[in-house]
Amino acid sequence: MNDWINICRVDDIPRLGARRVRRPSGVDVAVFRTDDDRVFALLDRCPHKGGPLSQGIVFGEHVACPLHNWAISLVDGEARAPDIGCAVRFAVRVEGDVVSLRVDEIATLAIDDAVPDGDAADALAAARRVIAIASA
């Protein structure tokens, strides 16, 4: 199967940002847009502690995880050294200004990699509290 599903337009993804794509099961897919309008898709889960990559900062061809600042390559999902790990990568097609993902990958990739409810969200909330206290 090599069917594609239209997700959004390129302009629907913030430049140097991301948009989440919900799936019927499993962790969401994060679709990223670089400064030069290239589009990439990764599982919305950092390989370190499960942080939501869609909430990270995009720089060059990387996204910084919002929990512990791991730099994850948008090209291949690999963590930048000295960190070790890999986020699942999804194929992306851009035709004109329409962004599409492969239906079979949405349905099958990393379906069993779900983060227990609340874990990543709780960790992100705790990190934000620490940042708020430190900047007060």
Stated pTM of the model:
0.81
Instruction: Please write down the long-range contacts of 69-73, taking CB distance under 8 Å and 24 or more positions apart.
Output: 70/46, 72/42, 72/46, 72/47
Average pLDDT over residues 58-87: 95
Q: Which residue has the tokens 């990699």?
A: 113
By CB atoms closer than 10 A (0-12, 13-18, 19+), residue 24 is exposed
Structural domain boundaries of the chain? 4-135
67, 127 Cβ separation under 8 angstroms: yes
> Which residues is 60 bridged to in the sheet?
none
3: pLDDT strictly greater than 60: yes
Domain 4-135 part of CATH 1.10.1040.10: no
- State yes or no: pLDDT of 51 exceeds 70: yes
pLDDT at 131 over 80: no
